Chain A
Amino acid sequence: MARARNREEFPHAPLHAGLVVFTFLTVYPVLWVFTIAFSGKQSLALADLPESPTLWDRLRAITPWPERWSMANFASVFADQPFLAWLGNSALIAVATTILGVCLAMTAAYAFSRFRFPGQRAGMMSFLVSQMFPGTLMLIPLYIIVVQWLGLGSTRTGLVLVYGTTSVPFSVWMLKGYFDTIPKELEEAAVIEGASAGKIFWRIIIPLAKPALAITALFSFMSSWNEFILAATLIDKEEMYTAPVGLRFFVGGFSQQWGYFAAGSIIVSIPVVFLFLYLQKYLVSGLTAGSVKG
């Protein structure tokens, strides 16, 4: 406390005032979505304006508070719309992507971390460079390969394969960093006791790397759950939509079902928002550390 006085801090009251206003503006779009979701209507207006609105009416029209609370949008987005199927698609795809991506990444990361072999540096660099390939450049060939050659358009398998492999480089770099910190002595002791390489990997490295594996898996899950443009490009059957494509379907083009969109958005976002808040510190350190090294 003594130190705070010494430093002639700003008075806190104006800071709080500014922060409250700014935070309200920041949260406003979120409140807006909640209002529409619980309004029970499909309109994107927060309130209906009369013919000649007074100041109060106008103020009412921007207040993010529903005129009448109703769960109708949540009930009918599941009952009348194929939203449950879309959520199911997204969940299945995200889980399968995570399993595939982490399995591929952990073995590769282990090899990159523990073995010295020709092509090691080139392999790591190629993973890094692949992160610079622009999405649209990949989109056209992927569309041709997945839809026209492999015939996997509008299937979950196609998306899982694409998401799974594209998540590999990021996961490999994350996991390799962690594997590097596991002391080699543990393995050397195991080798002396006659353990095979496979045994060392499964019995020593994987259990020790559980926290890193969990975080990598969560990132994999989150990016697949949130992915929009590949899914929108590779899938054109309505029953095979993922949740993001489905949400766009509610309000894209001439469709104006804002109530369904808002209710669906809340359902889709809640798990990832919490996941994100939990993972955010790893993300920041991973991203900035990676790029300082260049």
Chain B
Amino acid sequence: MTKRPSHRLRFLVGLALAGGISIGVSWLLLRTERQQAAGARTEREAVVTLQSLADLVERAGRRGDPVRKALAAWQAANPSVRLARVAAFEGISLEASTAPEDKGDRAAPRRLTHDEKPLYDRGQRLRAAVATNREEGGARKPEIETDQLPSGALSLAAPILEAGEVTGMVEIEIQPVPPLPQPSLFPPIVAFLGPLLLLGLVALLLGERRLPLAAVSVACLALGFGAYALHSLASVQNDRVLSHEAVAAHARTQGGTARSVLAALGLEAGAPLQPGKWDVDAFRQPRGFLTGEGKLDPAALAANVERARGQAERALWGVGALALAILLLVGLGGVNRLAATLVAHRQAYLYVVPAMIGMLVLVFFPFLYGITLSFTDSNLYSVNLPITETWIGLRNYGDILGDFAFAHRAVDGSLVFDYLNFYWTLMFTVVWTVSNVTIGVTVGLVLALVLNTKGLALRPMYRVLLILPWATPNYITALIWKGMFHQQFGVVNHVIRLFGGQGLSWFDKPGTSFVTALATNGWLSFPFMMVVSLGALQSIPGELYEAARVDGASRWQQFKAITLPSLRPALVPAVILSVVWTFNMFNIIYLVTAGEPGSSTEILVTQAYKFAFERYRYGYAAAYSTIIFGILLVYGAIQNRVSRATEAA
């Protein structure tokens, strides 16, 4: 006798779990967000400080006494800066320094000493980064270096430019800023307990009625979690605005300091100071939130806050959905039943779980993740962004499947193929598969028939030697044949020359390149067919042939009526398998032709690989692979039906 389960209790437990998990997770998210925002703000302020110094040094002439005076005055006005150094690459000199150890005989100006090589190297890195970014017209190498020192302080360095060239650098160390307080625990506790109390009270009134209880508990969850979600969204927005305002205020303060330093040195001439321009990213590109004078740009601010809010909102929706699922699962008794099943079959599950976990993490999850990636434009640079940032829906599929222009007429009227087009590669793959399987089956079957001759001497030896190509690891086979097709030294060309021909440059034309791959794959794939056919031939009872001969059947009639039908049950699955193998024969194409010339001899799987690992278009390559999977699925379904039909026949 089991006790009748209490709906009230279950919904209360469900709500406690769902509310606890969702609100707890939201609180953790809020805390991380706040820590990250604080870190980002500290770094931005540090960069503003650094850039204000760089600006000052450039205005003070980059080297000599004015720089030293400016640095001393600037340091006096910036107590949070521990030390600052200015170096010039010409003469490898330390131009100015406020570091405590640079006093007395180490006082600037002097040449950099041997133990200051890290400083010099840092400068050279910055110089190289600026040059690289300018050459590439992009932003790949950081032009401002920020490092966290073991003490917690930040060490930053920026280049000093003179007529576009990096001629020096400034380096500062900034005191760590005390971390922000954690978000308050009061709101989440209220949002957690309130709905629980409410549900408890209502449940007393409602009694053991399942559906009304479900409705009320969902409403309670929505109330509690919803209120807390709104609270965290407001808090995220508020933090964002405050942090932008703080940076703006900091920039204005630095502007004031710089102005007074310049005034004291009598250096006011030149363009007016623009403190807002000091708020730059690691590539010294303005972030665009501040105007020149250091005022906040309302439009940019609003867009940034909106983006932060959007991200937080999406995360909270996800958490909410999870909470709802937990509540209903527990409340409606799903968890109870699940637990009962698990306990009843605990032994079986115990044995399966290790393998299942491994499969889930490294087979099924990657598979689903791959399919998800196919809806994004994820690439080398954006792969660590959340999926929602790179989501582009079905565009990859449209780009791949919707582009039918795989050939066009050139100016002189000849056909020109676009080898990167999906349909070209698909056509090539089909031709590749069909020709390979045909060769494999024909050669394998003929050899099997020959080897099956009764009383043939040396049969085991032939058999072992003919299986060798299958036994050799196929990447080695591929590399061997690649060598044998070498234009100058390859054996194949030597044979052609032996018969008076000219050696071919095999990998320069799609046709000959295809032949090389075909030869390689033909070589390694016929033994499988041979072994399978041989096995089937040997299992045909000799009495069948005898009976046929008694009936006066000719050799050809015997072959058609006895041999072929008996081979069929073995050959059909073998052909099905070898079609899939050849379709997916990555190593041969990748190692022998490598798609040469110009991607014309890629098959679908190697093309997908190249999109991923040579062009770094992960999303596009994932869509490509998903399409391949679709093709294989369709093939599998057809094959299943066909083989069922053959079995029935």
Contact = CB atoms under 8 A, between A and B. Distances in A.
A280 B352 contact: no
A190 interface: no
A244 B478 CA distance: 12
Given A9-B453, A107-B354, A144 B618 contact: yes
Contact of A288 (B341, B471, B573): B573
Contacts of A43: 489
B476 A115 contact: no
Given A141-B369, A291-B576, A32 B643 contact: no
A164 B358 contact: yes
B475 A138 contact: no
Nearest to B480: A29
A130 interface: yes
A contact patch SS: helix
Contacts of B203: none
Contacts, number: 276
B530 to A, nearest CB: 10
Given A26-B469, A32-B491, A130 B364 contact: yes
Contact of A23 (B358, B370, B462, B490): B462
Contact of B351 (A4, A107, A145, A287): A107
Interface string B464-491: 1111111111111101111110100111
Nearest to B626: A137
Contacts of A277: 464, 467, 471
Contact of B367 (A7, A137, A168): A137
Contacts of B347: 111, 115, 197
B234 interface: no
Given A26-B523, A32-B491, A134-B625, A291 B577 contact: yes
Contacts of B410: none
Interface residues of B, number: 104
Contacts of B549: 6-7
A166 B495 CA distance: 43
Nearest to A115: B348
B532 interface: yes
Contacts of B480: 29, 32-33, 265
A281 to B, nearest CB: 8
A91 to B, nearest CB: 15
Contacts of B367: 130, 133, 137-138, 141
B202 interface: no
Interface of A: 1, 3-4, 6-10, 12, 15-16, 18-19, 22-23, 26-27, 29-30, 32-33, 43-46, 55, 58-59, 61-62, 103-105, 107-108, 110-112, 115-118, 120, 123, 126-127, 130, 132-145, 148, 161-162, 164-166, 168-169, 172, 197, 201, 225-226, 228-229, 233, 244, 247-248, 251, 258, 261, 265, 268-269, 272-273, 276-277, 280, 284, 287-288, 291-292, 294
20 contacts: A12-B453, A27-B468, A30-B468, A62-B495, A111-B348, A136-B605, A136-B612, A136-B621, A137-B628, A140-B373, A141-B366, A141-B369, A141-B373, A148-B383, A165-B363, A226-B475, A261-B483, A269-B473, A273-B468, A287-B573
Nearest 3 A/B pairs, CB to CB: A137-B625, A115-B348, A111-B351
Interface of B: 341, 345, 347-349, 351-352, 354-356, 358-359, 361-367, 369-371, 373, 383-384, 447, 450-451, 453-458, 462, 464-477, 479-484, 486, 489-491, 494-495, 497-498, 523, 528, 531-532, 535, 542, 545, 549, 555, 569-570, 573-574, 576-577, 584, 586-587, 590-591, 605, 608-609, 612-613, 618, 621-622, 624-626, 628-629, 632-633, 636, 639-640, 643-644, 647
